[in-house]
Amino acid sequence: MAAKNDPILVIGGGLGGAAVALALGRKGFSVRVLEQAREFGVIGYGIQLGPNVFSMFDRLGVADAVLAKAITPKAILMIDSIDAGEIVRIPTGASFRSRFKRPYIVIHRVDLHRILLDACKALSNVELVPSTSAEYYENHDDHVSVRTNDNHSIKGVAVIGADGLRSTVRAQMLSEGEPRTIGYVAHRTIVAMKDVRADVPRSEVVLWSGPGFHIVHYPLRGGELFNIVAVFRTSTYSEKGDAAAYRAELDHTYRDSHPAMKSLLAMLDLERRWVISDRDPVRHWSKGRVTLLGDAAHPTLQTLAQGACMAIEDAVCLAELIGLANGDFARAFRQYESARYLRTARVQLESRYLWDNFYHLGGIEREVARAAWAECGEAQIFECLAWLYDGFPLPDRLSEAA
Ligand SMILES: Cc1cc2nc3c(=O)[nH]c(=O)nc-3n(C[C@H](O)[C@H](O)[C@H](O)COP(=O)(O)OP(=O)(O)OC[C@H]3O[C@@H](n4cnc5c(N)ncnc54)[C@H](O)[C@@H]3O)c2cc1C
């Protein structure tokens, strides 16, 4: 039986876990976040955040703090990797603000994480526990318990698995295999802006698109830093390997690309790379007093740059419903997944579609896509993005069906 002040247990202190801990903490719930890493929120590169996440930041009380650390790029540009011709330009200035009400930003992930974690630390009812890995949970009628790597059992009123792409909580709940790999890897690097070649655009989010590869880059921290992500198709999936072999592979893959784009490759940190993966969407990711959030629930390809935005939307939605449920966690979790699955599934499926049919085209397909995009005006592009950037309406009551 759960005691009155037993905590809600959040597994994973990434952006989703920190956001849900803060959202629940602000509502007065006792929350304990278990994070396997020795420190919370110390590793990360740049991240793009769409305007849809700002109403969530308002609810969390961190919108101003986030804006103070962010950069609003002039535009999001897609450039042809071979001839550097512009394919699509999404202006993110006044017309974007007027259409979507909130900005498009880029921010250092560590800065965003720090803002969420500091806000959690200011609440006496939120406890952040590092160096603690959840191994499995027990889901009882009236409480939950989580067994940790150091063989402790921690009791709580509910479990929120915010433990990412390779979620232990999901593995136990849904008994599936590994995430789906698609044959691509990413190298991520942050360099000093002063080291970037003059002909590389630096005030925009830029995506260089090519057959089987792309590079994304943008400025960070007041323009002093420059974030680069290089993605390409490969037959080797190792995340840590031989830097010289990685270099040879990069040089070969990007051999025909524009010199400005090639200059970025020379700056990449080749120590580590990420295998790009996602999962098929599912309708249900809760059982009893246990639910999932963020990448654990609906991992997506990076095409729309929305994985973290979806995790933060999940977090605020879930906290609202728990707040309304008067201790009926199972009911809150059913309504939460039913409120979220279509939107998150659309992000997963559109990301897959655009990955293959927009980002990485070659030959005549590439030329056709470029010609078609040249006919699209700003208003048309904004309307294509409206389902996503107009945001997610938070539930204000528990439905009878839940
Ligand atoms: C190359 C790349 C670029 C991206 N760019 C963007 C972008 O621009 N915009 C955007 O919105 N999204 C982007 N994303 C997606 C985004 O990074 C993820 O969607 C987001 O980090 C998900 O947050 P999360 O909290 O669900 O999971 P994670 O960030 O993965 O956090 C999970 C946490 O759980 C911990 N953990 C794992 N297992 C356990 C366990 N058993 N016990 C305790 N702790 C555990 C981990 O250590 C980690 O801290 C990008 C992703 C990649 C790979």
Query: For 169-192, what is each residue's pLDDT tens digit?
Result: 999 999 899 999 999 999 999 999
Q: How far apart are CA 293 and CA 22, in angstroms?
A: 14
8-70+109-178+279-356 topology per CATH = FAD/NAD(P)-binding domain (3.50.50)
The minimum-distance atom of ligand 1 relative to the CA of 46 is: 8
Distance (Å) from CA 113 to ligand 1 centroid: 11
Q: Is 148 in the pocket of ligand 1 (CB under 6 A)?
A: no
Would residue 44 be called left, alpha or beta, if left means φ above 0 and alpha means ψ between -120 and 50 degrees?
left
Q: What angle do CA 320, 336, 6 make, to 5 degrees?
A: 60
Q: Is 325 in the pocket of ligand 1 (CB under 6 A)?
A: no
Strands (E), 69-143: 75-80, 86-91, 105-108, 126-129, 134-139
Predicted pLDDT at 2: 60
Q: How far apart are CA 331 and CA 48, in angstroms?
A: 33
Predicted pLDDT at 238: 67
Predicted pLDDT at 4: 59
- Has residue 124 got a pLDDT over 70? yes
The minimum-distance atom of ligand 1 relative to the CA of 310 is: 11
Q: Which of 9, 22, 35, 66 to mutate to test the pocket of ligand 1 (most atoms within 8 A of CB)?
A: 35
Q: Is 117 in the pocket of ligand 1 (CB under 6 A)?
A: no
pLDDT by residue (tens digit) across 146-174?
999 999 999 999 999 999 999 999 999 99
Ligand 1, atom 38: nearest CA belongs to which residue?
163
Q: Is 186 in the pocket of ligand 1 (CB under 6 A)?
A: yes
> What average pLDDT does this structure show over 129-149?
97
Residue 70, phi then psi, degrees to nearest 5 = -100, 165
Predicted pLDDT at 181: 94
Predicted pLDDT at 78: 94
pLDDT by residue (tens digit) across 35-61?
999 999 888 899 999 999 999 999 999
Q: Is 313 in the pocket of ligand 1 (CB under 6 A)?
A: no
Distance (Å) from CA 357 to ligand 1 centroid: 25
Active-site annotation, residues: 218
Per-residue tokens: 135:
């191994």
Q: Is 17 in the pocket of ligand 1 (CB under 6 A)?
A: yes
Residue 28 in 3-state DSSP?
coil
